[in-house]
Structure 1
Amino acid sequence: MPQKSLKAKLANLPVPILPTLVGAATLSNMWAPLGFTWIRHLTMWACAIVMLCYVGKMICHFKTVKAEYSNTVPASLYAGFTMITMILGSYVFDFSPVIGKAIWALGLGLHALHLIVFIYRNVIKGFNKDTFVPSWFVTFNGIMVSTVVGVPMNEPAIGKFIVYYGLVALAILLPLMVVRLIKYPITTGPLFMTKAIILAPTSLCLVSYLNFITEPNVWIVYSLYAIVFVSLLYVVMNLPKFFSFTFHPGFAGLTFPMAIGIVASNKMSAFLINAGHEAFGNAVKQIAGLQLYVTTAIVAFVVFNFFMMLVKSFKTNESA
């Protein structure tokens, strides 16, 4: 009976937990250079356990997964599965380069396949403006996680291709998404939290661009960070509204965008300091520190509430 109960619970694993894992893992990578390596290890191990549970869901409850994947918004969030695979690959790489690179490549390949299927279903086959929400960036620009963590993989050609693809995707999707949010604003419901995702794609582009382009164009770098900064202000200004809602899985939309935003600010700070703009670079570094402070609180809040949902589900099962 307990085994059957555990198997049944796998079906209820929420899709948004996947991008939450990406956010938590990315945040742990920000704490590690500060000397808090245990945070990174514990977070990566926890992510690996949850990922194994999600693989169990895909195997034991394929119909449920198929139904979720048929829905545009959850389907876009399923990209979190491949993104965390790439991050775990970079983590394993530190201990076993061959296995780590294989895991990273698997995540990259699966994401590319997911992207093709998503484009066919939601762009070519039929477009619905109501489901055209910022979570699309998780699929379209999420593949750039491979270039955020992939420098040690030593695949410059693949990296540059993904960087330029990401810049083109951003140039096409971001203006359309801004117009969509202005003309058809999202004011209520779980989709409201997807507005925070607007911070993620430009941050991914900036980090990836600086990682793989040996002679970066300063105007591209400045333009990308300007968009990152404006997007960050937009998210911060909306935080009171975000947290006016009772917790639901949609809060996952706050995690990875805020975490990758820290990486973008750190990268921009280093770029400015190396270019001789120390005062400006140090100012951006302080912004990154504030981001780390706020993001840690947000990710901790979301992860804790997901954990409490799990605890309550077990208590409900025991009382039944």
Structure 2
Amino acid sequence: MGDIIKKTPYPIAGLMLACATLGNLLAIYGSFFRYLFGALAFCILALILIKVIVMPKSLVTAFENPVVASVLPTFSMGLMVLSTYFTSFILFANVMWFSAVLLHLILMAVFTFKYILNFDIKAVFPSYFVVYVGLVVGSISAPAIGQQSIGQVIFWFGFLSYLVLLPFVLYRVIKIKAMQPPALPTLVILTAPASLCLAGYISSFPQPNNALIYFLSGLAFVMFVAVAIKIPNLLKSEFYPSFSAFTFPFVITAVAFKNLSSINDFYGYMIFARFLEIWATIMVIYVVIRYLMFLLSLEFPIAQTKKKQAN
């Protein structure tokens, strides 16, 4: 067990977030799916908490890497989603949700002080969206615990942050490029912010503006297609902890278009939403398997084949 804790990377928090969100997404098909993926999320939560307690210095070290530091807030995002699993105990759910929002703000402040105030465009990655736009998970989860008004404020913060960050991230990805292999999976995060804002907007605003919905859904669709084209090549790489990036962006895109299809004017998106559900579920299961094999020091079959070919 000690070896597993030691090997547990902090980016696995992204997988925790994805599992918790996917559990809620698939709950319509039966409570089994919600409990299954919810249980996986809680298991990952336990691993992360144990590592922080047993190896506190590892958290300090994590902040020295801009990619890892920028995905750490997926932990607080995951806590926001997991709080919705306790709506039967509304006081506990509220405490958990507010604590998660506060933690996210703290992580955001530390990241801003360390990387934004010492800005270097070469240190910018798509995962920067996680730090600022990621707070919009609060807009999605807020209505479930009776905090819709706060969810609306969070949405506007996240949406404006997205508009500010987008030019810098696109410039970094398109013009500068030169991203190291371990950071390449973060390209998938490009599909998350617009979808997250779309899902948060629909969730926290009873009467959403159609113009804003068209803007966000169009941007979310374009980003999804752009990322989906690159997925086959990205999946061919060896395993990195950043594989977590293959999960939540697709899950939240599925959530966004499912929420969108529930609005009468946008019912036609239902088929696309169903496709996204299947896509996101496959990606989460795939990454769960890859992480299990990594933590248990087992070789993935494809990796074994590549080694044989290389020899």
TM-score clears 0.5: yes
Match of 1:263 in 2: 255
Q: Is the 8 A contact 2:83 2:94 kept in 1?
A: yes
Match of 2:66 in 1: 72
Q: Of 227, 234, 247, which residue of structure 1 is paired with 2:226? A: 234
Question: Percent of counterpart pairs with the same letter?
Answer: 27
Match of 1:43 in 2: 37
Counterparts of 1:165-184 in structure 2, within 5 Å, are 165-184=157-176
Counterparts of 1:192-203 in structure 2, within 5 Å, are 192-203=184-195
Q: Does 1:14 align with 2:14?
A: no
Counterparts of 1:1-320 in structure 2, within 5 Å, are 6-7=1-2, 9-34=4-29, 36-93=30-87, 95-124=88-117, 126-186=118-178, 188-271=180-263, 273=264, 275=265, 281-282=267-268, 284-312=269-297
Q: Is the 8 A contact 1:142 1:201 kept in 2?
A: yes
Number of aligned residue pairs? 298
Q: Is the 8 A contact 1:141 1:201 kept in 2?
A: yes
Residue-by-residue CA offset, 1:89-116 (whole Å, 9 max, x unaligned) = 11112x3111112111111110011111
Residue-by-residue CA offset, 1:148-202 (whole Å, 9 max, x unaligned) = 1221222233112101101110110112211221111256501111111011111
What's the TM-score once normalised by structure 2's chain length? Answer: 0.91
* 1:186–1:254 Cα change, 3 Å: farther
Match of 2:309 in 1: none
How much does 1:306 deviate? 0.6
Amino acid at match of 1:29: N
- Consecutive unaligned residues in structure 2, runs of 5 or more: 299-311
What's the TM-score once normalised by structure 1's chain length? Answer: 0.89
How much does 1:14 deviate? 0.9
Q: Is the 8 A contact 2:126 2:189 kept in 1?
A: yes
How much does 1:7 deviate? 3.6
Q: Is the 8 A contact 1:186 1:192 kept in 2?
A: no
How much does 1:22 deviate? 0.9
Q: Is the 8 A contact 1:22 1:83 kept in 2?
A: yes
How much does 1:143 deviate? 1.1
SS at match of 1:141: helix
Q: Is the 8 A contact 2:142 2:204 kept in 1?
A: no
Residue-by-residue CA offset, 1:108-163 (whole Å, 9 max, x unaligned) = 11001111111111111x01222200011111111111111221222233112101
CA distance in 1, matches of 2:296, 2:174: 39
Q: Is the 8 A contact 1:20 1:256 kept in 2?
A: yes
